[in-house]
Amino acid sequence: MTGSDTRVAACLNPPTITELNASQGLPPWISLDTRVYLADRHNSTTAAAETSKGHAVQVSICFAHPPALSYVCIHCPGLQHANFASEPRVVRSEKQFLLLHLPLNWSTRLVRRSSEYYMYQAVPGRPPTLSRIPDPPGRSFLVARDLGIHCCGDGGEYILAGLCPSRDDAQGGYELHLYSSVSRAWTRKPAYLEKPPIEEQLPVASHKVIPLGGSLLGWVDLWRGIMVCDVLSDETYACVWFVPLPGLMPGNEADCHLCPWVIRDITCINGSFKLVEIELISLPPKNKDE
């Protein structure tokens, strides 16, 4: 990969870490950087695929002992840095899966821009694999924040699910897009909110997608609430339930325009939501006489 571009300048120099060798055993968990670095780091985790234009893509993971960040490196020998419209990212991680987003730009024309997604998979006892996710029919691209991963047992299969506002429903419905690693094809069904909340509570963005147990996924708006959907339902349409989140703590109410990751995060552990919020409190200046 050659050339330089300010759009990807921050991901050209991977951090210096004491890298662990995957063949010698790894820690039970890691902290993974969501930024993907453009660098050739071939090791035992390396897997390869091709872009939609036939260019080679090589993905490797550089492991580090927590609290140091492990990170992902991508090497595309046939591309230049200018071919990236912005920085590549880790979209989701779930068990043995990593969903990666490569915002590629095949020319200076906006219409040639391509948001390509790749699933990296590491199953114990097997070589790692990398596969490109095809675009769903009738939709030019998917938004990274709308995508979640449902793991189908321990056999290495998965469902990639995207919940997004419908383009065809004037009533404000949704669409559930499902990609199966078995059929390697997309399906789509309408999705509707059961007992919709008032407009002021309705989620406007998916900050993250989390597994909730079974075949349930939750699309989280950290300001407002969670859209819950059974991605394996056999119904012809998908039902979506809204779970509101508690209001902001008093010290944070004036900062609702900030990125929510600064003060809030949520996960689901053993069927229970765990919400963490850091309250920002402004202390009055000290008296000089004190």
Question: Chain-wide mean pLDDT for the chain?
Answer: 86
- Please report which confidence band the pLDDT of residue 7 belongs to, taking 50, 70 and 90 as the band edges: confident
- pTM value? 0.88
Top-ranked range on mean pLDDT: pick from 16-25, 103-112, 190-199, 234-243 = 234-243
Domain boundaries, given as residue ranges, for the chain: 1-133, 134-247
Residue 218, exposed/middle/buried by CB under 10 A (0-12, 13-18, 19+)? Answer: buried
- Return the percentage of the chain with pLDDT > 70, whole number: 89
More confident residue, 137 or 192: 192
Rounded mean pLDDT, 27-50: 92
Please say if the pLDDT value at position 3 is more than 60: no
Q: What is the pLDDT of residues 233-254, one digit of tens each?
A: 999 999 999 999 999 898 888 8
Rounded mean pLDDT, 256-264: 83
Q: What is the pLDDT of residues 115-126, one digit of tens each?
A: 899 999 988 788
Please say if the pLDDT value at position 171 is more than 60: no
* pLDDT for 178: 95
Rounded mean pLDDT, 159-185: 85
